[in-house]
Chain A
Amino acid sequence: QQKVQQSPESLIVPEGGMASLNCTFSDRNSQYFWWYRQHSGEGPKALMSIFSNGDKKEGRFTAHLNKASLYVSLHIKDSQPSDSALYFCAVVDSNYQLIWGSGTKLIIKP
């Protein structure tokens, strides 16, 4: 069964700095990957998806996927206080369902 693990559990980054969030998965047949963000008091909201090896950039956010290494990451450039949130990695399994990681709590320190 697919296992999705995120690290670190929490991360403090100074405002304007780079935040790097990591996610590993166990099923080599995984094809589709999502990053979601959840602000306090709200439901998670999709940030971006990736399905090809390499980098995908959307504004200040860059996702990186390496299927051979069972690894996907999210990098946030020029971090803002509004980026403080809980970030989830989610992997589409063979039943086309999302398997969620446990989340990384990101705090941007002004």
Chain B
Amino acid sequence: NAGVIQTPRHKVTGKGQEATLWCEPISGHSAVFWYRQTIVQGLEFLTYFRNQAPIDDSGMPKERFSAQMPNQSHSTLKIQSTQPQDSAVYLCASSLGLGGNEQYFGPGTRLTVL
């Protein structure tokens, strides 16, 4: 079991470019979560999927951010027209279910917007 896989580990984009981040959850896990982590804001929930269906995107900035889970083996987080304030570590986690189930995190993708 390789754990949650995130690619790329580091991404540098220019202001206004698009960034797509990939996550492969642990096989058999039904819930997939996306978080953003910065020094200033800490760990922020963005969105989550259950059985590939989007359930809660209350943490997603309404413009420019979108997430998809086209199949049970991967999810993507897309940021259009990236801005310097989007620079952060983006973390993906998966779990067998919600709440009482442990969330297993990937190593994160460090996004730097110049």
Task: Return A41 CB to nearest CB of chain B, in Å.
Answer: 7
Task: Verify A103–B103 contact, CB threshold 8 A.
Answer: no
Whether B43 pairs with A45 at a CB distance below 8 angstroms is no
Measured between alpha carbons, how far is A100 from B59 in the docked complex, in Å?
13
Chain B residues bordering chain A, tally (CB within 8 A): 18
Q: Contact between A43 and B106 (Cβ–Cβ < 8 Å)?
A: yes
* Number of cross-chain contacts by CB at 8 Å: 48
Would you give the 0/1 interface string for A11-46, flagging 1 where the beta carbon is closer than 8 Å to chain B? Answer: 000000000000000000000101000000111111
Q: Which of B91, B100, B106, B108 contacts A92 (CB 8 A)?
A: B100
A98 & B106 in contact (Cβ 8 Å cutoff): no
Which residues from 39 to 98 on chain B have a C-beta closer than 8 Å to any C-beta of chain A? Answer: 42-43, 45, 48, 56, 91, 93, 98
By the criterion of a CB under 8 Å from any partner CB, how many residues of chain A are at the interface?
19
19 A-B pairs with C-beta separation under 8 A? A32-B99, A32-B100, A41-B107, A42-B108, A43-B4, A43-B93, A43-B106, A43-B107, A44-B43, A44-B105, A51-B100, A88-B43, A92-B99, A96-B98, A96-B100, A97-B45, A97-B56, A100-B45, A102-B42
